Structure 1
Amino acid sequence: MMTRIGTRLASVIGAVCATALALSTPAAHATTTESDHSATLAALRAFQAAAGPGAGVHAGNADGSWTLSVGTGTVNANRPIKADEHFRIGSQSKTFTAVVVLQLVEEGRVTLDAPIDDYLPGVVTGNGYDGTRITVRHLLQHTGGLGAYMPSPGLKTPPSNPDGTFSLSTVVRYALDASPPVSAPGAGFTYSNTGYYILGMLIEKLTGQQVHQAVTERVIEPLGLTHTSVPAPGDRTLPAPAVNGYHGARVGPLYVWLPAVSYDPSLFSGAGSMISTLEDMSAFHRELASGKVLSAKSLAEMRTVRQVGASTGYGLGLQTYEPSCGGTARGHSGGVPGYESFTLTMDDGRYVSLVTNVLVQVGQRPDAQLQKLLDTALCEDAPQRD
């Protein structure tokens, strides 16, 4: 898991089969607004051949953008994935949650190296946990020693409310009980959704708003991300136009695709509930990199990484990757039932955002193809070296 781009730090969440069944082979077409990205198109084809029914990539630099798509966003139809179509971004949500926490730091309401117990007394306790030793920074960077809890709708979930939604405090308690500590705070890196559930509780206590309200008012609306949303508990709808998500398997030359299971967004909350598009995710990360979202000090904190692989690291809600053409790309991956996605940006203006409409399972992951695709999309537009 640590050898591929970004180490696929987003949670790998087991999708649950739905009732409908479709057999299809991927469409052979590809669409692009440019004619000079043949290398990325070839890499996208190779990735999609091992991923979902469709795959799309939206990339560019300071001079403009381009979009490529292969396969289909809807099984048994010829619907290339478009850059303005909605999908569930999974753990890419963590970057938005981290931004809100860092805004609270800027406002003097949170100290990064203060214990979480100072703000949420008695919450991070039991099953070997001690919230007086786990700091806010630890939670943001996955270095608090928290176990890797990964919810699976219908299989591995905490008790729900009578209306089918989930209380954030209940989710946190369930996650802590389900996964004991794996290391002392600060001693190691273990990617865990639990830390971001706890950060959601921190946001709610300090702002008096639910996570979806705080992220919307503090980040989404000021940046004008009109196709990005944090669904409120109980809102399971996906806005149109949308990429349809699937769970699937490959049987010889045929692909077996099942519509992704429906789940309440409160199950993932600030760790992975958001909806966006390729265009909006690219725009968000470009604005973040430009310094328009956080102060220079906060952005520097966010970008201070712990190395987790030969060319990958994790900061405060940001992953880093060093492409073959040089420099550092920053962003985040995401995976929830129906979708896997990734967005990366570079300081010279290059960016790439991609999605495939199936959550690719452990043991079936096209790791090499994903790395090749992201690397090629970033490096095709790289400035020429002297």
Structure 2
Amino acid sequence: MTKRTRRRLAGLACGALAAVALVAPVAVAHAEDHAATQDVLNRYQQKAGPGAAVHAGRGAEAWTLSSGSASISQNRPITSADHFRIGSQTKTFTAAVVLQLFDEGAVDLDAPIEQYLPGVVTGNYDGTVITVRQLLDHTAGLTRDAAGAKAEADGTYTLAALVGAAMDDAPQGAPGAGHKYSNAGYLVLGMLVEKLTGQSIGGAITDRIITPLGLTGTSFPARGERALSTPFVPGYQGIRVGGFFFWFDATTLVELSTWSSAAAMESTMDDLVKFQRELAGGGVVSAKALAEMRTTVPVAPGAPQGYGLGLFTMPLSCGGQAWGHNGVLPTGHASITMVTDDGRFASAVTNANFIPADPSALDVVDTALCEGE
């Protein structure tokens, strides 16, 4: 995997600042057994947040490595049970519900979104041309983010308000013309789920995925809810002055309803691995629906990586490929979870919304997935 390719995939997340973190690595259990992964994780953490961790394994075997600290107020490792905002990993949950509706015959992936949400995708867009599939694989051409939406009296936002505001923004491209990452498109998909299920998007994800899979560390926040469940990894933003960082806690900085079905959820590395493994193993959608999710478009011209329906594929340095998603949020959390069809898995997180390029989070999970192969 080239550095250029890693940068392209890193850009799939919600967006971030770049900086260098100067935090001493913390030695943890299993480091001596996974020295290559620990080395990459340490170097990644030095360019990421105050702390970073990876939870990986194969089959029933799992191990966790940490570097730096979960908190600037105490020196403790990040664990696989710590909660954090998963950002755009939320998209895989939203897409999985849409594909369940596909399995139930309620959604035709190649039907225009106008068929299900009449009059919603309008303004600078044509909902009679944009399909459900194009919203899922980011080829609809919608603006990246919804801006200028009117808040409710309590300061929260409805999906309808966010999507309505996005319709006034210029398209990134023509429908079907190529991959143009769009959080706004996944807000439209949230409205689609709500229309077809009669539930809120959070309720549908909870009832259809979180509860059946026993993801006890995963939740979709109610509007206005910003706090993470305990134990949690505080998220940070910061600035560099000379050779030092000044961090500030951004954990509850963002009104999460602005991200909703695109990026609002919380989870743990344990749960994210379980979800992705269940999805890959047929425990969430049918084999037919999973094949649709894995039908990809290039993330950029000539790139070997592809983006499917709420999933992207990552070629591994040891051969083969992994499937999953990444996520970054201004709450100060950046994460990624990838799994292979032969039972390997890796989930990584750092507690700042930075996207280092060399090494990247992709390098961390690639090393964890390939170590020993």
Q: Is the 8 A contact 1:62 1:349 kept in 2?
A: yes
1:360 Cα offset (Å): 0.8
Separation in 1 of the partners of 2:143 and 2:363? 31
1:307 Cα offset (Å): 1.9
Q: Is the 8 A contact 1:90 1:273 kept in 2?
A: yes
Structure 2 residue 37 is the aligned partner of structure 1 residue 37: no
1:252 Cα offset (Å): 3.1
Structure 2 residue 163 is the aligned partner of structure 1 residue 160: no
From the superposition, tell whether residues 122 and 177 of structure 1 become closer, same or farther in structure 2 (CA, over 3 Å). same
Structure 2 residue 253 is the aligned partner of structure 1 residue 262: yes
Aligned pairs for 1:97-108 (under 5 A) are 97-108=94-105
TM-score of the pair, normalised by structure 1:
0.90
Separation in 2 of the partners of 1:251 and 1:377? 33
Separation in 2 of the partners of 1:14 and 1:26? 18
Separation in 1 of the partners of 2:70 and 2:327? 18
1:286 Cα offset (Å): 0.6
1:238 Cα offset (Å): 0.6
From the superposition, tell whether residues 369 and 317 of structure 1 become closer, same or farther in structure 2 (CA, over 3 Å). closer
| Residue of structure 2 in register with 1:323 after alignment | 316
Q: Could you tell me which amino acid in structure 1 is paired with residue 315 of structure 2?
A: E
Cα shift readout 1:169-191 (whole Å, capped 9, x = no counterpart):
0001112323x112221111100
Q: Could you tell me which amino acid in structure 1 is paired with residue 197 of structure 2?
A: T
Q: What secondary structure does 2:360 align onto?
A: helix
Q: Could you tell me which amino acid in structure 2 is paired with residue 324 of structure 1?
A: S
Separation in 1 of the partners of 2:297 and 2:263? 22
Aligned pairs for 1:118-137 (under 5 A) are 118-127=115-124, 129-137=125-133
Q: What secondary structure does 1:177 align onto?
A: coil
Q: Could you tell me which amino acid in structure 2 is paired with residue 320 of structure 1?
A: T
Separation in 2 of the partners of 1:157 and 1:2? 33
1:219 Cα offset (Å): 0.5
Structure 2 residue 62 is the aligned partner of structure 1 residue 72: no
Structure 2 residue 217 is the aligned partner of structure 1 residue 227: yes
Q: Is the 8 A contact 1:56 1:69 kept in 2?
A: yes
Cα shift readout 1:94-132 (whole Å, capped 9, x = no counterpart):
0000000011111111100000000111111112x1000
Q: After the TM superposition, which of the residue ranges 366-375 and 217-226 deviates more from structure 2?
A: 366-375
Aligned pairs for 1:140-151 (under 5 A) are 140-149=136-145
Structure 2 residue 242 is the aligned partner of structure 1 residue 252: yes
| Residue of structure 1 in register with 2:78 after alignment | 81
Aligned residues between the structures: 364
Q: What secondary structure does 2:245 align onto?
A: strand
Structure 2 residue 202 is the aligned partner of structure 1 residue 212: yes
1:367 Cα offset (Å): 4.5
| Residue of structure 2 in register with 1:18 after alignment | none
Separation in 2 of the partners of 1:31 and 1:313? 34
Q: Is the 8 A contact 2:135 2:189 kept in 1?
A: yes
Q: After the TM superposition, which of the residue ranges 261-270 and 342-351 deviates more from structure 2?
A: 261-270
Separation in 2 of the partners of 1:6 and 1:95? 19
1:234 Cα offset (Å): 1.7
Aligned pairs for 1:1-386 (under 5 A) are 3-4=5-6, 7-8=9-10, 9-12=12-15, 25-33=22-30, 35-127=32-124, 129-149=125-145, 158-178=149-169, 180-260=170-250, 262-309=253-300, 310-337=303-330, 338-360=332-354, 365-382=356-373
Moved >4 Å (runs of 4+): none
Separation in 2 of the partners of 1:6 and 1:83? 27
Q: What secondary structure does 1:372 align onto?
A: helix
Q: Is the 8 A contact 1:46 1:369 kept in 2?
A: no
Sequence identity (%): 53
- In angstroms, what is the RMSD of aligned CA positions? 1.8
Q: What secondary structure does 2:77 align onto?
A: coil
From the superposition, tell whether residues 157 and 359 of structure 1 become closer, same or farther in structure 2 (CA, over 3 Å). farther
Q: Is the 8 A contact 1:6 1:320 kept in 2?
A: no
From the superposition, tell whether residues 169 and 297 of structure 1 become closer, same or farther in structure 2 (CA, over 3 Å). same
> Which structure 1 residue ranges, 5 or more long, are not aligned?
16-23
From the superposition, tell whether residues 157 and 374 of structure 1 become closer, same or farther in structure 2 (CA, over 3 Å). farther
Q: What secondary structure does 1:374 align onto?
A: helix
Q: What secondary structure does 1:234 align onto?
A: coil
Separation in 1 of the partners of 2:311 and 2:194? 22
TM-score of the pair, normalised by structure 2:
0.93
Q: What secondary structure does 2:328 align onto?
A: strand
1:294 Cα offset (Å): 0.7
Q: Could you tell me which amino acid in structure 2 is paired with residue 348 of structure 1?
A: D
Q: Could you tell me which amino acid in structure 2 is paired with residue 134 of structure 1?
A: I
Separation in 2 of the partners of 1:357 and 1:96? 22
